[in-house]
Amino acid sequence: MLDFETCNAARIRRDPSFDGMFFTAVRTTKIYCRPVCPVKHPLTKNVSYYPTAAAAEKAGFRPCLRCRPETAPFSAAWNGTQTTVTRALRLIEEGALDNGTVDELSAKLGVGARHLSRLFLRHVEASPMQVAKTVRIQRAKRLLSDSSLSITEIAFQSGFGSVRRFNAAFLELYGRSPSSIRRPKA
């Protein structure tokens, strides 16, 4: 966290280079703002500074309706729809689509399935199911090269619902069976 004098000077100048680095809380109004907020400057004796919007809210301040501090740089809102896609990718990596559906995933994210698919096409250039398939194949490939599990065990541990789908996915991507990809042990 920056010191009080640095934050105060940046607030008075409305310096955009400090936007998102700290938040100004005004004790008399119980409102917190970004350093670039266009409102009349409060008295310095009534001001305190917080490193995050969450810290200001925890201290009992509410966000300014004019500068909208929740949209400050480095916040999730600043990243826009990329934040939703990033959360979805993390859930897919954790196996959300191994046994679930795109509808269930989109419900967890608070968006519709069609909207989630559009976001994936815009940011990832692939559908959620295509991403899940790639994640499963990558898991399986690691297990094939790093473990001595049977092909059947690898298929189920990597998230495939059946050995047939597992074999078909490998044949489609690599043009060969999973057992032919397995490295022989030295």
**Active-site option among 31, 56, 64, 116:** 64
> One of 7, 10, 56, 67 is an active-site residue; which one?
67
**If we measure between CA atoms, which residue out of 142, 131, 123, 138 comes closest to residue 91?**
131
Other Cβ atoms closer than 10 A to 107: 14
7 is catalytic: no
Among the listed residues 135, 97, 137, 143, the one whose alpha carbon sits nearest the alpha carbon of residue 116: 97
Q: Are 2 and 22 in contact (CB under 8 A)?
A: yes
Which residue in 7, 10, 37, 116 is the catalytic one? 37
Contacts of residue 5, Cβ cutoff 8 Å, sequence gap at least 6: none
Rounded Cα distance, 89 and 185, in Å = 33
Which residue is catalytic, options 7, 31, 33, 96? 33
* Cα gap 10→29, rounded to integer Å: 20
- Packing angle of the helix pair 128-146, 102-109 (nearest 10 deg): 110
- Residue 33 annotated to the active site: yes
Bridge partners of residue 8, in order along the sequence? none
Nearest CA to 117 among 129, 108, 133, 109? 129
Residues with catalytic roles: 33, 37, 64, 67
